[in-house]
Protein backbone atom coordinates (compact mmCIF):
# COMPACT_ATOMS: atom_id res chain seq x y z
CA UNK A 1 0.00 0.00 0.00
CA UNK A 2 1.32 3.43 -1.01
CA UNK A 3 -0.06 6.45 0.80
CA UNK A 4 0.54 10.17 0.39
CA UNK A 5 -1.46 13.30 1.11
CA UNK A 6 -3.42 12.97 -2.14
CA UNK A 7 -4.16 9.27 -2.57
CA UNK A 8 -3.55 5.68 -1.56
CA UNK A 9 -2.53 2.95 -4.01
CA UNK A 10 -3.45 -0.69 -3.48
CA UNK A 11 -2.05 -3.50 -5.61
CA UNK A 12 -4.54 -6.31 -6.06
CA UNK A 13 -4.81 -9.52 -8.08
CA UNK A 14 -8.10 -10.38 -9.78
CA UNK A 15 -9.16 -13.24 -12.07
CA UNK A 16 -9.06 -12.85 -15.84
CA UNK A 17 -9.21 -15.22 -18.80
CA UNK A 18 -5.50 -15.96 -18.42
CA UNK A 19 -5.69 -16.82 -14.75
CA UNK A 20 -4.82 -13.80 -12.62
CA UNK A 21 -4.08 -10.16 -13.41
CA UNK A 22 -2.71 -7.33 -11.31
CA UNK A 23 -4.58 -4.07 -10.97
CA UNK A 24 -3.85 -0.83 -9.15
CA UNK A 25 -6.63 0.80 -7.14
CA UNK A 26 -6.09 4.50 -6.48
CA UNK A 27 -8.32 6.12 -3.87
CA UNK A 28 -8.34 9.80 -2.87
CA UNK A 29 -7.30 10.97 0.57
CA UNK A 30 -7.25 14.77 0.42
CA UNK A 31 -10.39 15.26 -1.69
CA UNK A 32 -12.39 12.15 -0.89
CA UNK A 33 -16.15 12.53 -1.27
CA UNK A 34 -19.26 10.54 -0.32
CA UNK A 35 -19.88 7.44 -2.42
CA UNK A 36 -22.80 9.09 -4.24
CA UNK A 37 -20.43 11.80 -5.54
CA UNK A 38 -17.51 9.52 -6.42
CA UNK A 39 -17.14 8.17 -9.96
CA UNK A 40 -15.28 4.92 -10.50
CA UNK A 41 -12.91 5.18 -13.46
CA UNK A 42 -11.22 2.34 -15.32
CA UNK A 43 -8.11 3.84 -16.94
CA UNK A 44 -5.94 1.99 -19.45
CA UNK A 45 -2.33 2.85 -20.26
CA UNK A 46 -0.98 3.47 -23.74
CA UNK A 47 1.94 1.91 -25.58
CA UNK A 48 0.60 0.73 -28.92
CA UNK A 49 -0.77 -2.50 -27.38
CA UNK A 50 2.85 -3.75 -27.23
CA UNK A 51 4.55 -1.83 -24.40
CA UNK A 52 3.58 0.07 -21.26
CA UNK A 53 2.51 -0.74 -17.72
CA UNK A 54 -0.17 0.08 -15.21
CA UNK A 55 2.18 2.41 -13.31
CA UNK A 56 2.03 4.82 -16.24
CA UNK A 57 -1.11 5.99 -14.42
CA UNK A 58 1.13 8.37 -12.47
CA UNK A 59 1.82 10.46 -15.57
CA UNK A 60 -1.68 10.15 -17.03
CA UNK A 61 -4.64 12.51 -16.94
CA UNK A 62 -6.40 10.11 -14.58
CA UNK A 63 -4.15 10.71 -11.58
CA UNK A 64 -5.32 14.32 -11.34
CA UNK A 65 -8.93 13.16 -11.32
CA UNK A 66 -8.08 11.39 -8.08
CA UNK A 67 -5.93 14.15 -6.58
CA UNK A 68 -8.08 17.14 -7.50
CA UNK A 69 -11.61 15.78 -7.75
CA UNK A 70 -11.81 12.68 -5.58
CA UNK A 71 -12.38 9.99 -8.21
CA UNK A 72 -11.45 6.35 -7.58
CA UNK A 73 -9.35 4.88 -10.40
CA UNK A 74 -8.67 1.25 -11.28
CA UNK A 75 -5.95 0.51 -13.83
CA UNK A 76 -5.18 -3.01 -15.15
CA UNK A 77 -1.84 -4.63 -16.00
CA UNK A 78 -3.32 -5.96 -19.21
CA UNK A 79 -1.45 -8.43 -21.39
CA UNK A 80 0.66 -7.09 -24.24
CA UNK A 81 1.31 -8.14 -27.83
CA UNK A 82 3.03 -9.78 -29.59
CA UNK A 83 3.19 -12.46 -26.87
CA UNK A 84 -0.49 -11.92 -26.15
CA UNK A 85 -2.30 -10.58 -29.23
CA UNK A 86 -5.96 -9.62 -29.45
CA UNK A 87 -8.25 -10.40 -27.64
CA UNK A 88 -6.01 -10.72 -24.55
CA UNK A 89 -5.85 -7.00 -23.68
CA UNK A 90 -9.58 -6.50 -24.19
CA UNK A 91 -10.42 -9.54 -22.06
CA UNK A 92 -8.19 -8.26 -19.25
CA UNK A 93 -9.69 -4.77 -19.38
CA UNK A 94 -13.19 -6.22 -19.33
CA UNK A 95 -12.29 -8.31 -16.29
CA UNK A 96 -11.16 -5.11 -14.57
CA UNK A 97 -14.37 -3.36 -15.61
CA UNK A 98 -16.42 -6.21 -14.14
CA UNK A 99 -14.38 -6.00 -10.95
CA UNK A 100 -15.11 -2.28 -10.72
CA UNK A 101 -18.84 -2.84 -11.23
CA UNK A 102 -19.04 -5.75 -8.78
CA UNK A 103 -17.14 -3.92 -6.01
CA UNK A 104 -18.59 -0.42 -6.02
CA UNK A 105 -19.54 -0.66 -2.35
CA UNK A 106 -16.07 -1.70 -1.25
CA UNK A 107 -14.43 0.88 -3.51
CA UNK A 108 -16.77 3.64 -2.36
CA UNK A 109 -17.96 4.66 -5.82
CA UNK A 110 -21.32 5.47 -7.36
CA UNK A 111 -22.36 2.44 -9.40
CA UNK A 112 -24.22 4.76 -11.81
CA UNK A 113 -21.01 6.61 -12.67
CA UNK A 114 -18.63 3.98 -13.97
CA UNK A 115 -16.38 5.69 -16.51
CA UNK A 116 -13.59 4.45 -18.78
CA UNK A 117 -10.62 6.19 -20.34
CA UNK A 118 -7.06 5.93 -21.49
CA UNK A 119 -4.39 7.34 -23.77
CA UNK A 120 -3.37 6.06 -27.21
CA UNK A 121 -3.77 2.26 -27.20
CA UNK A 122 -5.57 2.77 -23.90
CA UNK A 123 -7.92 5.06 -25.78
CA UNK A 124 -8.44 2.37 -28.39
CA UNK A 125 -9.22 -0.11 -25.64
CA UNK A 126 -11.62 2.44 -24.15
CA UNK A 127 -13.63 2.57 -27.38
CA UNK A 128 -13.49 -1.20 -27.84
CA UNK A 129 -14.50 -1.81 -24.24
CA UNK A 130 -17.53 0.48 -24.57
CA UNK A 131 -18.65 -1.51 -27.62
CA UNK A 132 -17.97 -4.84 -25.93
CA UNK A 133 -19.77 -3.83 -22.72
CA UNK A 134 -22.76 -2.52 -24.68
CA UNK A 135 -23.10 -5.78 -26.57
CA UNK A 136 -22.67 -8.04 -23.53
CA UNK A 137 -25.10 -5.91 -21.48
CA UNK A 138 -23.43 -6.71 -18.14
CA UNK A 139 -21.92 -3.31 -17.28
CA UNK A 140 -23.36 0.11 -18.11
CA UNK A 141 -20.72 2.78 -18.74
CA UNK A 142 -21.65 6.41 -18.07
CA UNK A 143 -18.84 8.24 -19.90
CA UNK A 144 -15.82 7.49 -22.06
CA UNK A 145 -12.54 9.41 -22.39
CA UNK A 146 -10.50 7.87 -25.25
CA UNK A 147 -7.64 10.35 -25.53
CA UNK A 148 -5.91 10.48 -28.97
CA UNK A 149 -7.03 6.86 -29.40
CA UNK A 150 -5.44 4.13 -31.53
CA UNK A 151 -8.58 2.98 -33.35
CA UNK A 152 -7.86 2.12 -36.97
CA UNK A 153 -5.67 -0.72 -38.23
CA UNK A 154 -5.95 0.74 -41.74
CA UNK A 155 -4.09 3.83 -42.89
CA UNK A 156 -5.93 7.14 -42.76
CA UNK A 157 -4.95 10.47 -44.27
CA UNK A 158 -3.06 11.34 -41.09
CA UNK A 159 -1.58 7.94 -40.25
CA UNK A 160 -0.08 7.19 -43.66
CA UNK A 161 3.37 8.63 -44.41
CA UNK A 162 3.44 10.23 -40.98
CA UNK A 163 6.86 11.09 -39.55
CA UNK A 164 5.86 13.15 -36.55
CA UNK A 165 7.61 12.69 -33.17
CA UNK A 166 6.77 9.93 -30.66
CA UNK A 167 4.53 7.82 -32.93
CA UNK A 168 4.71 7.52 -36.70
CA UNK A 169 3.55 5.30 -39.55
CA UNK A 170 6.32 2.74 -39.13
CA UNK A 171 5.66 2.24 -35.43
CA UNK A 172 1.93 2.17 -36.06
CA UNK A 173 2.17 -0.59 -38.68
CA UNK A 174 4.45 -2.70 -36.46
CA UNK A 175 2.17 -2.31 -33.44
CA UNK A 176 -1.02 -3.22 -35.30
CA UNK A 177 0.65 -6.26 -36.85
CA UNK A 178 1.72 -7.44 -33.40
CA UNK A 179 -1.65 -6.77 -31.78
CA UNK A 180 -3.76 -8.40 -34.49
CA UNK A 181 -1.54 -11.48 -34.65
CA UNK A 182 -3.12 -14.17 -36.81
CA UNK A 183 -5.92 -11.74 -37.73
CA UNK A 184 -3.51 -9.44 -39.55
CA UNK A 185 -4.57 -9.12 -43.18
CA UNK A 186 -7.98 -10.68 -42.55
CA UNK A 187 -11.39 -9.24 -41.70
CA UNK A 188 -10.89 -7.43 -38.41
CA UNK A 189 -13.62 -7.29 -35.72
CA UNK A 190 -14.56 -3.92 -34.24
CA UNK A 191 -13.51 -5.09 -30.78
CA UNK A 192 -9.95 -5.29 -32.15
CA UNK A 193 -10.03 -2.16 -34.32
CA UNK A 194 -12.95 0.05 -33.26
CA UNK A 195 -12.86 1.94 -36.58
CA UNK A 196 -14.38 -1.20 -38.13
CA UNK A 197 -17.58 -0.61 -36.14
CA UNK A 198 -20.81 -0.05 -38.09
CA UNK A 199 -23.17 0.50 -35.15
CA UNK A 200 -22.42 3.40 -32.81
CA UNK A 201 -25.82 3.49 -31.15
CA UNK A 202 -26.21 3.24 -27.37
CA UNK A 203 -22.56 3.94 -26.66
CA UNK A 204 -21.59 6.25 -23.77
CA UNK A 205 -21.07 10.00 -24.19
CA UNK A 206 -17.48 10.80 -25.09
CA UNK A 207 -14.80 13.44 -24.91
CA UNK A 208 -11.30 13.43 -26.35
CA UNK A 209 -8.54 15.67 -27.62
CA UNK A 210 -5.82 15.19 -30.22
CA UNK A 211 -2.97 16.99 -31.97
CA UNK A 212 -3.33 17.64 -35.69
CA UNK A 213 0.13 16.40 -36.77
CA UNK A 214 -0.07 12.99 -35.16
CA UNK A 215 -1.13 9.72 -36.84
CA UNK A 216 -4.39 9.33 -34.90
CA UNK A 217 -5.79 12.76 -35.80
CA UNK A 218 -8.19 11.56 -38.52
CA UNK A 219 -9.41 8.42 -36.78
CA UNK A 220 -10.12 10.38 -33.61
CA UNK A 221 -12.26 12.90 -35.48
CA UNK A 222 -14.02 10.12 -37.39
CA UNK A 223 -14.86 8.28 -34.17
CA UNK A 224 -16.41 11.36 -32.60
CA UNK A 225 -18.32 12.15 -35.78
CA UNK A 226 -19.71 8.61 -35.93
CA UNK A 227 -20.87 8.85 -32.33
CA UNK A 228 -22.60 12.16 -33.04
CA UNK A 229 -24.31 10.73 -36.12
CA UNK A 230 -25.71 8.00 -33.87
CA UNK A 231 -27.12 10.60 -31.50
CA UNK A 232 -24.41 10.24 -28.85
CA UNK A 233 -23.13 13.35 -27.06
CA UNK A 234 -19.49 13.54 -28.12
CA UNK A 235 -16.87 16.22 -28.65
CA UNK A 236 -13.19 16.63 -29.49
CA UNK A 237 -10.68 19.44 -29.12
CA UNK A 238 -7.87 19.71 -31.67
CA UNK A 239 -4.47 21.25 -30.86
CA UNK A 240 -2.52 22.60 -33.86
CA UNK A 241 1.06 21.42 -34.39
CA UNK A 242 0.87 19.01 -31.46
CA UNK A 243 2.30 15.48 -31.63
CA UNK A 244 1.17 12.25 -30.01
CA UNK A 245 0.79 12.34 -26.21
CA UNK A 246 1.94 15.95 -26.06
CA UNK A 247 0.08 16.56 -22.81
CA UNK A 248 1.97 13.78 -21.02
CA UNK A 249 5.39 14.42 -22.53
CA UNK A 250 5.38 18.23 -22.37
CA UNK A 251 2.82 19.22 -19.70
CA UNK A 252 4.53 22.60 -19.26
CA UNK A 253 3.62 23.81 -22.77
CA UNK A 254 0.76 26.23 -23.35
CA UNK A 255 -1.16 23.74 -25.50
CA UNK A 256 -0.79 21.00 -22.91
CA UNK A 257 -2.03 23.22 -20.11
CA UNK A 258 -5.05 24.16 -22.21
CA UNK A 259 -5.73 20.52 -23.09
CA UNK A 260 -5.51 19.49 -19.44
CA UNK A 261 -7.81 22.33 -18.38
CA UNK A 262 -10.46 21.48 -20.97
CA UNK A 263 -10.23 17.76 -20.23
CA UNK A 264 -10.88 18.37 -16.55
CA UNK A 265 -13.78 20.69 -17.36
CA UNK A 266 -15.36 17.98 -19.53
CA UNK A 267 -14.85 15.43 -16.78
CA UNK A 268 -16.52 17.67 -14.21
CA UNK A 269 -19.42 18.21 -16.60
CA UNK A 270 -19.74 14.45 -16.95
CA UNK A 271 -19.89 13.98 -13.18
CA UNK A 272 -22.95 16.25 -13.09
CA UNK A 273 -24.75 15.07 -16.23
CA UNK A 274 -23.88 11.48 -17.21
CA UNK A 275 -25.25 8.51 -15.27
CA UNK A 276 -25.85 4.89 -16.23
CA UNK A 277 -27.66 2.68 -13.73
CA UNK A 278 -26.52 -0.91 -13.46
CA UNK A 279 -28.96 -3.74 -14.07
- 74, 101 contact by CB (below 8 A): no
Strands, DSSP E only, in 45-87? 72-76
pLDDT value for 186: 86
Indicate the pTM of the whole model. Answer: 0.97
pLDDT value for 73: 98
Q: Name 160's Cβ contacts closer than 8 Å, sequence gap at least 6.
A: 169
Domains of the chain: 2-273 (3.40.50.1820)
Residue spans of the chain under pLDDT 50: none
pLDDT value for 87: 98
Cα 209 to Cα 101, 131, 193, 240: the distances in Å are 27, 20, 19, 11
pLDDT value for 3: 85
pLDDT value for 130: 98
pLDDT value for 33: 94
Residue % of the chain over a pLDDT of 70: 100
pLDDT digits 0-9 by tens, 3-51: 888 999 999 999 999 899 999 999 999 889 999 999 999 999 999 999 9
Amino acid sequence: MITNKYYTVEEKTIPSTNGEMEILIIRPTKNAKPKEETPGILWMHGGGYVVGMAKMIYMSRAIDLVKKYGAVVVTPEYRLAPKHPYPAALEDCYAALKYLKDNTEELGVNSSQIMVGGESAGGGLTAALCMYARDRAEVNIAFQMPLYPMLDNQDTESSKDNKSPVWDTKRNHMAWKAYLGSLHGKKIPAYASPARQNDYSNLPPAYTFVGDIEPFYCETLTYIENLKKAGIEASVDVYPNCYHAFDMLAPYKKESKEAIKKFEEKYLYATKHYFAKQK
